[in-house]
Amino acid sequence: MSVNKKKHWYDYLWIWSIVYFALGFFNILFAWLGMIDFILPLIFATVGGNKWFCNHMCGRGQLFWVLGRNLKCSRRKPAPKWLSSKGFRYGFLIFFLTMFGTMVFQTYLVFSGAGTLRKAIKLFWTFRVPWQWAYNGSVFPDWVAQFGFGFYSLMLTSTLIGLIVMVLYKERTWCSFCPMGTMTQGICKIKAKKGMKENDIK
């Protein structure tokens, strides 16, 4: 962040992204809190027609900035152009949503009794990591925990990807192909176009 700028409470949300992973390490049910980062940007985009969440509140983006710029963990080299191209961005969004859908389906299997709860997280959609310490039963049914494990996997994997590209390229390279960013920008563009058309009629 640059000089002379007043600090706001939401400038410290990078702490939240660390706290989130710490909480999920001890109890996987905390993974559900990550839904805030999913729903809030979409509300901002659909209701407000803006990317205020990305621009000011994204804890992950801020974390990459703190690590990459302030702690000098980034090479700060331009990323290859294809990484921020429309094709890759929308392709990655589709891939991400598909994986999200698969995760929801796994949750459904546990819900319906066709599957059993697996106390593990999956990194990069491939590597299974045991995580059994994070859940010892609760008042909630098993599917709630299953979703937690799935969602935590998704959050951790995407953060790891973000960290890798942060080290290799610019601090916030993740933002250039972040599925949430692509989705909210898409919504904003549709809204802005609609607004323009309506103004034309008037």
Token pair, residue 190, equals: 């549709």
> Which of 76, 82, 94, 160 touches another protein (CB under 8 A)?
76
Pick from 7, 72, 81, 202 the residue near another protein by CB under 8 A. 81
- CB count within 10 Å of CB 175 equals 20
**In the complex with another protein, which residue's Cβ is closer, 145 or 178?**
178
Among 29, 54, 121, 155, binds another protein (CB under 8 A): 54
> Which CB atom, from 29 or from 54, has the smaller least distance to another protein?
54
- Interface stretch with another protein, choices 20-28, 95-103, 115-123, 183-191 (CB under 8 A): 183-191
Q: How far is the CB of 55 from another protein (least distance, A)?
A: 3
**Alpha-helical runs (H) found in the chain:** 14-26, 35-43, 52, 59-65, 86-112, 142-168, 179-201
* DSSP 8-state code for residue 53: I
> Is there a contact between 152 and 144 (Cβ–Cβ < 8 Å)?
no
How is residue 60 written in tokens? 């992950």
* Tokens matching residue 164: 């890798």
Identify the residue among 25, 56, 108, 119 touching another protein (CB under 8 A): 56
Q: What is the Cα–Cα distance from 109 to 162, expressed in whole angstroms?
A: 30
Pick the binder of another protein from 17, 51, 148, 157 (CB under 8 A).
51
**Distance of alpha carbon 182 from alpha carbon 152, whole angstroms:** 21
Q: Identify the residue among 4, 126, 136, 199 touching another protein (CB under 8 A).
A: 4
Phi/psi of residue 41, nearest 5 degrees: -60, -35
Answer whether 29's CB lies under 8 Å from 144's CB.
Answer: yes
Count the site residues for another protein by CB under 8 A.
Answer: 42
Query: Is residue 2 close enough to count as binding another protein by CB under 8 A?
Result: yes
Candidates 106, 146, 158, 182: give the one binding another protein (CB under 8 A).
182
Site residues for another protein per CB under 8 A:
1-4, 44-45, 48-52, 54-56, 61, 65, 76, 78-79, 81, 84, 89, 169-178, 181-182, 184-185, 187-189, 191-192, 195
